[in-house]
Chains A and B, each alone.
Chain A
Amino acid sequence: MPVWVLVAVLMLGCVAAGGAETYDFAIPEAEPKNYEIGARLEARYLFHRYDTASAKYRLDRLQGDPGADAHEWHGVVEPMMSYRRGILKAALITHHEYVDDGVGTGTRDDVYEGYVSLTPSPRFTLDLGKRSVLWGKGYAWNPAGFVNRPRDPDDATQNLEGRVLAGVDLIRSFEGGRLANLGLTALALPVIDDWSNPELGADGDVNYALKLYLLWHDTDIDFIWFDGPGQPLSLGFDFSKNLAENIEIHGELAWRRDVLRTVVDPHGRIRFERADPVDYLLGLRYLNALDTTFILEYYHRGSGYDRGELEDLFAFQDAAVDRWQASGDTAEVERAQQVTRSYFSERNPGRDYGYLKVSRKEPFDLLDVTPWIALMASLQDGSFNVQPGLTWTPLTDLELNFRVAVPVGPADTEFGEKPDACRPEVWVRYYF
């Protein structure tokens, strides 16, 4: 099995590398190099214990009985290389993944980043190619990050696929005033076939994004603008500030014009609404004297479904599945799958959320171990996902992770209807 082979190779390589460590005052890394080559290897295993009464599980049975549980394997190789000469830099990160989800196997090969940068002075940089873009200050959500890819807040160091763009970055620094720094980032994001930003519009569209950054009164402030032929005009604002030596606060505010929203009633009738939703997020990070970090965030999603709308959607879906099981006619359940696709494609389709993550380095003299627990709650219906986890770094460049996701909530609630009753996950990562 390829994944087991990968794990074995990882472990052997790491043990060999770890055994060579010595106490040494020399710093050979001080010799500058024009190139960098490295890679990240990852092996990941997930076990799905299904909630057979959940909405998504019942709907997916149309494609065949998934059973009570499933095993899922991922093997990932991400080579990285860069070369710089004078004011020019070229970089490439590719992603190669093997997946075995218990039903079938597949591979995926993507260019995550591949770009050329021209930096004639620290005040000016020109980028061309595919680069990762991540804007906003939130940990769990970034409502003002209009061009961001979605990411897992509890595995934040995963590489993300970039955006194909042409970008300019201008920076100015000021002495003595309240305004210390000013930065302007301008991006053009073209849509070309299915390889360049296909999620952002139709072939030939060009989307534009601007971010104005200020360091003003020791506060980070961003003003963000995004627009395109197939995208709603979007305006965003975010901030971040240290209140004390161990407390940071942050927030985001986003407004989008004329966003299409699909609402389903209990009878399956679809209603299209156009709205100008406002999203916002407030958060803080606090480090206490016991070296425990707390991250707390509140997120309001203006275009999200409220409790009544979610109950209607689940009621329609349940009725469709019940009728299919009673009559054998698949027409209605197929329609239910189609209607609810946009709902299930969103990580958090609801309206109000809370997020709390508590992590502590090396508690109880457990060396190299960081346990954590994260809680994400839908505040409208009281359902939540609780996720304890553990990171162990026994050797340099080797990271072992474990976490268990447990969605909790009654029927017709967001987390109560998640397909997994419990999902343990373990992954090992090695860098070289």
Chain B
Amino acid sequence: MKKILPSALVCLALVFAPVTAFAEPLTGEQILERVDRNLEPGDLEMYRKIINIEPDGKQKEYVLRFLKKDKDKVVTLFVSPASEAGRATLRLGDNMWLYIPNVGKPIRITSMQSVVGGVFNNADIMRLDYSVEYAVAGSTEAEGQYVLDLKARSGAVAYDRLKMWVDGERLVPVRVECFAATGMLIKTLHFSDIKDIGGGMASPAVTETDSPLYQGYKSVMVSANLKLRQFSDEVFTLNYLPRVKDLR
């Protein structure tokens, strides 16, 4: 009996161990990591359509090809309209550049500028993983959602603080409020149309944003044609930016 009891206890522990681990609540950092993985699962390329809706209802659309490598390298290439085609942006960590074919040289841009106008700024369009730019300052759970308080890791980040509502089941963001250092609400991002993108992951295909600073304006970003793909590091460099449209 003395020999049987420890074995039984070990078996019991093994049987219940996964349940115990599953039941253990996720930390804020773990939730944020899962959110990042669901939004952009590794190295990839996809297409994005940005639709700026103006107060009079008029819409302007931009289509861009979006390439991402690691957690901090992003390239976007404008495909349409014709007046913007060939423009490309590069982000390496906190560094951002814009290349305009007619201008002929890449220029440094900042995260608060917007290359497409509307409510999305450069930091929204060339967003890195949230966990790269923000640390979890607090997390709560309510009505099937996690609510994360995120604080910028450095002053170079576009927003000083984020409040993120995360779907508790699928671990994708539902809503993100973006605040300035003064506490002023700069904009709200709304995520919707969650689609399975393979590998057991789900990602919102539509991001909408509005802002009290742009009353009556709304911008929508639609993501499609997501493919996991490996790129050379050199694709994400300033010298390559004028040639990125030739990448197939």
**Interface range on chain B (Cβ under 8 Å from partner):** 35 or more
Contact A156 B103 (CB under 8 A): yes
Distance between Cα atoms of A246 and B65 in the complex (Å): 25
Contact B246 A183 (CB under 8 A): no
Contact A23 B51 (CB under 8 A): yes
- Chain A residues whose CB sits within 8 angstroms of the CB of B201 once the complex forms: none
Selected from A23, A123, A250, A396, the residue in CB contact (under 8 A) with B83 is A396
Q: Could you tell me the distance in whole angstroms from the C-beta of B60 to the nearest C-beta in chain A?
A: 6
Distance between Cα atoms of A240 and B100 in the complex (Å): 17
Q: Could you tell me the distance in whole angstroms from the C-beta of A133 to the nearest C-beta in chain B?
A: 7
**Is A67 positioned at the interface, with any CB of B under 8 Å from its CB?**
no
**Is A346 positioned at the interface, with any CB of B under 8 Å from its CB?**
no
**Interface range on chain A (Cβ under 8 Å from partner):** 35 or more
B33-57 contacts to A, CB under 8 A, are 47, 49, 51, 54-56
B226-248 contacts to A, CB under 8 A, are 231-240, 243, 246-248
Q: Encode A243-284 as 1/0 by CB contact (under 8 A) with B.
A: 011111010000000000000000000000000000000000
Kindly report which residue of chain B lies nearest to residue A248, judged by CB atoms. B108
Distance between Cα atoms of A242 and B238 in the complex (Å): 15
Q: A29-B63, A157-B102 are in contact. Are A240 and B108 (CB under 8 A)?
A: yes
Contact B240 A122 (CB under 8 A): yes
Distance between Cα atoms of A119 and B224 in the complex (Å): 28
**Is A169 positioned at the interface, with any CB of B under 8 Å from its CB?**
yes
B59-102 contacts to A, CB under 8 A, are 59-61, 63, 65, 79-83, 85, 92-96, 100, 102
Contact A135 B105 (CB under 8 A): yes
Kindly report which residue of chain B lies nearest to residue A25, judged by CB atoms. B222
The 3 lowest CB-CB distance pairs between A and B, nearest first, are A173-B233, A183-B239, A134-B104
- B interface residue numbers (CB < 8 A to A): 47, 49, 51, 54-56, 58-61, 63, 65, 79-83, 85, 92-96, 100, 102-105, 107-113, 117, 123, 155-158, 206, 222, 224-225, 231-240, 243, 246-248
Kindly list 19 other residue pairs between chains A and B, CB separation below 8 angstroms, not including A29-B63, A156-B100: A21-B61, A25-B49, A30-B65, A38-B85, A117-B243, A119-B243, A121-B234, A134-B104, A169-B239, A173-B236, A180-B92, A242-B96, A242-B156, A245-B110, A245-B155, A246-B111, A246-B112, A248-B109, A367-B56
Q: Give 16 CB contacts A-B under 8 Å.
A: A23-B51, A23-B59, A29-B79, A38-B82, A84-B246, A137-B108, A157-B102, A171-B240, A173-B232, A173-B237, A183-B237, A215-B238, A287-B110, A367-B54, A367-B56, A396-B83
